[in-house]
Structure 1
Amino acid sequence: MPLPVELDRSSPVPLYYQLSQAIEAAIRSGELAPGDRFENELALAKRLTLSRPTTRRAIQELVDKGLLVRKRGVGTQVVQNPVHRRVELTSLFDDLSRAGQDPTTQLLEYHVGPPNEDVARELSLAEGREVACIKRLRCANGEPLALMTNYLPVEIAPDAEELERSGLYQSLRGRGVHIRLASQRIGARAASRSEARLLDEKPGAPLLTMDRTAFDDSGRAVEFGTHCYRAARYYFDTTLVDR
């Protein structure tokens, strides 16, 4: 029996994401059981009046999460024993607080001005708009952990004093701005002299990097961040599935 799915085409939430969430909910509730064959991608797209790329992206999201698997000659199935830990869209401050790591923040720089070309593109800003550029050192239990540079449209940016007391996303929530989606790029590089000094590392030490563009409930880009983390003290946890 085809899975009933309701899509809100007037919502700013992308259709692929709505579909992915509906399928995931069915898997987690047991409506789709481990080992069940999932509906053919082409048939699903036709039934829901969606483009095939939209349907394919929704299914791929669940394959990447370890909830579905594609098998040659069989099709797409619900994984027998999904190896997946739900990852929420949170800030480093929120994550450290929940883990009892006593996060503290040192504000290194705060200024307002026109964005460079890359930042303007990430935030989809028209010419003449200004951004707040915020640079911070985040510590956990008194030990340096990450250097963070964030750019926000100036009209929603928290003030400097607030950012030393709480996390960026917490401050944005207090202003009625709720982060709903984000695109994220993870990489690695060697620490510069200034980064090494702030992070208590040797120059050239390995750093993990993350660039993130975050979007609010309306689909508006509200924050672009470039962060680097001490590789010896921080790692990204993901689930991999054999296709």
Structure 2
Amino acid sequence: MISRRLCLFAFMGLLAVLGCAKFELKAESGFAMPWNGFLEQAGSGKTDLLDRSNFRAYFIPTAGYEFFQEHLIEVSIIHFSVNSSLEATGTESLITYESMFRQDVLSVTYGYVLPVLDRFSLQLGVQGRLLFKQIDLTGSEQYSRKMTDFGFGPAADIKLKMNDQVFVALEVATGLGKGNGFINFYAGLHFEGPFYYVRAGSRYWSLTNSFDGDRLFLSFVSLGAQFCAYF
């Protein structure tokens, strides 16, 4: 009997919270350009991982809830992979090899929406990222590694009002984990609607890893658009 009452109270509380919440669906899509990437193995030099001219399409779906117009929780899933054909000059001959990098990310963000200050709107919070990565080198260079990492750190979303519909938007999230770190920075124009917004701009993100004496560094510059609808 007591457990049934507790379940009933929990269900009623959930309904009350959802009654004061807005459901959010967001998607971002565009093209990502590899900017820098190398693998530094213990006792050897750097091995390039990315061909800078290798543009890749990306798509990021996000779902979230906004409670009481102050609290926002978002969950996004990111899949990204890039293959590159690379060359390097060795001591005796030309080295040719293939590089494959794949990353899957589950990201959870909590944000607290502060009261509007004149022309500024500010949202502060934290972001956690669970990252699944895979690196494979074939050909003259041989290397294979799979990693599962977790990073956690602060996140912010800033809007500067130009008029009632147009804002300058800045997003930044950064975090650290065991032997890894990430940074994600976005800048663009934000167009506000009655139940939606659209953003267009560029995004820069990078990640690092240290494991067993090896060091991985990757960074990308992306150009795309973001659409968000509230229900």
Q: Does the pair score TM above 0.5?
A: no
Higher strand share: 2
**TM-score normalised to the size of structure 1?**
0.26
* TM-score, normalisation: structure 2: 0.27
More helix by percentage = 1
